[in-house]
Amino acid sequence: MRIQPVADEFAHLDEFEELIGPARTRRMHECARLLRERLDGGVLWHVNSTAAGGGVAEMLHTLVPLYRSLGVRAGWMVVGGDEEFFTVTKRLGAGLYGSPGDGGPLGARERAAYLRALAGNAEPARALVGPRDVLVLHDHQTAGLAELLHDAVSATYWRCHVGVDEPNAAADRAWGFLSPLLDRARGLVYSVRRHAPDDPRVAVIPPFLSPFSEKNRALTPEEARACLAHCGLGEARGTDSGPAGGGSAFEHPARVVADGLPQPGEPLLVQVSRWDLLKDMHGVLAAFAEHTDSGHLALVGPDPGGIPDDVEQKVWFDRCLAVREALPAAQRCRATLVCLSMADLAENAVLVNGIQRSADVVLQKSLAEGFGLTVTEAMWKSKPVVASAVGGIREQITHGHDGLLIPDATDLAGFGALMGAAVAAGPQLAPLGARAHERVLNDYLPDVDVVRTAALLGAG
């Protein structure tokens, strides 16, 4: 277990308050005051399994500084584990998504390995926490700490960011593993109501994005162009202030697999995701190649070598490589794969930002989705999103109103047709993009977390 260093202050509080207006601002501060009273000097700790990559880490980089700026003591701890631990947690994660994962067991041996690794985290954590502290344990990697640390703090809550729309045997098995470990948790928090078990402790708190982060802040056209150029999706152009002669403004090279640049004026379709079975990047590629005849596709994900607890990413990236390699040349040159370095998170974030903002259409063809922050990010940028109606995506998007959904996530022809329609509609989709932005402004900004967490902790 290690403490993840984060800023002591949310650098954009004033701008944020301006964005959400006086009524929401007052409410946020009032809830923070109630939380301070409830904690009575204790710390609100968030615990997860990675400092970078994935939606939870993304949120915590904003949430912890925001709480601190509002006067609530807050911290972030990251659990570690051995290979066996991550094999088990990967299996559990797949299971919670209703997928068999690697098909391996989740029996007594796996339970012992899981708890052994978490006990190794609980021991140093005991030296960090106090009896007034509250632990918010994120996802299956940390759930066992509810059992192991309940006596060291005033309360533990489990926050689950994954889930499956129709529970199946794999999901039941994963839940059967975790649920006894959560008996002592005071609350079970889900992003999406339909993913939650029937339990009186359940509460719903949606994830959010930070409008001023490198991932979401407004970019100048030059910045956006530099992002595209760095990712092999546009011409590098020197400026007086920037690097001249086609050099990149970014320090860490991206791995780009491409047969040339998109044609001038060719619409750009983008999916940004981890390389993962359930993100179905290879399905997007197949749907695009087989069922569309215009536009350029960019599949963008983290460098598979850069995320230590996610050994499977290389497998799914390689699958995309193979699918792309097998395409006829005319289709292959319309598809670019981009692996972004995770060595510098700010650089990675601004690249994702630039690519999302440069896209004409943003895609998210997940087979299952806890919430889908990439969708929120694209909606914030007023982009038309073409996605599958799964998990949190269908909470966020109302088809035809603020995005476009296919009902069946496995329907390649349907997804291709929707991509084609979105490209053909072009600027006609601007009002839909504007409504998408409005949706995020109303429902998916971080003040919502403060208000709902106050209610969760019974503050006030």
Place of tokens 């215009």: 294
- Residue 274 in contact with ligand UDP, rule: CB under 6 A: yes
Could you say which of 48, 142, 213, 348 contacts ligand UDP (CB under 6 A)?
A: 348
Nearer to ligand UDP, 215 or 365 (CB): 215
C-alpha span between 107 and 103 (Å, rounded)? 12
User: Looking at residue 249, what DSSP letter applies?
Assistant: S
Residues in the chain: 460
Nearer to ligand UDP, 42 or 54 (CB): 54
Taking alpha carbons only, the member of 273, 214, 290 closest to residue 393 is 273
C-alpha span between 204 and 149 (Å, rounded)? 23
Could you say which of 43, 258, 272, 436 contacts ligand UDP (CB under 6 A)?
A: 272
C-alpha span between 6 and 43 (Å, rounded)? 14
- Residue 354 in contact with ligand UDP, rule: CB under 6 A: no
Q: Which region among 43-51, 53-61, 68-76, 395-403 touches ligand UDP (by CB under 6 A)?
A: 53-61
Total residues contacting ligand UDP by CB under 6 A comes to 17
Q: Which region among 26-34, 35-43, 127-135, 369-377 touches ligand UDP (by CB under 6 A)?
A: 369-377
Could you say which of 55, 81, 211, 304 contacts ligand UDP (CB under 6 A)?
A: 55
14 burial level (CB within 10 Å; 0-12, 13-18, 19+): exposed
- Nearest residue to ligand UDP, scored by beta-carbon proximity: 55
296: enclosing H helix or E strand = strand 296-302
Contacts to ligand UDP from residues 285-314, by CB under 6 A: 301-302
Is 340 within 8 Å of 348 (Cβ atoms)? yes
Q: Which region among 34-42, 313-321, 371-379, 421-429 touches ligand UDP (by CB under 6 A)?
A: 371-379
- Residue 164 in contact with ligand UDP, rule: CB under 6 A: no
Place of tokens 């409410």: 27
Taking alpha carbons only, the member of 352, 422, 435, 453 closest to residue 396 is 435
Could you say which of 86, 177, 316, 371 contacts ligand UDP (CB under 6 A)?
A: 371
Nearer to ligand UDP, 346 or 455 (CB): 346
C-alpha span between 25 and 198 (Å, rounded)? 33
- Contacts for 130 with CB less than 8 Å, ≥ 6 apart: 42, 43, 153
Could you say which of 189, 340, 361, 423 contacts ligand UDP (CB under 6 A)?
A: 340
Could you say which of 267, 283, 354, 372 contacts ligand UDP (CB under 6 A)?
A: 372
Taking alpha carbons only, the member of 59, 70, 65 closest to residue 28 is 70
Give contact residues for ligand UDP (rule: CB under 6 A): 54-55, 58, 215, 272, 274, 301-302, 340, 348-349, 352, 371-374, 377
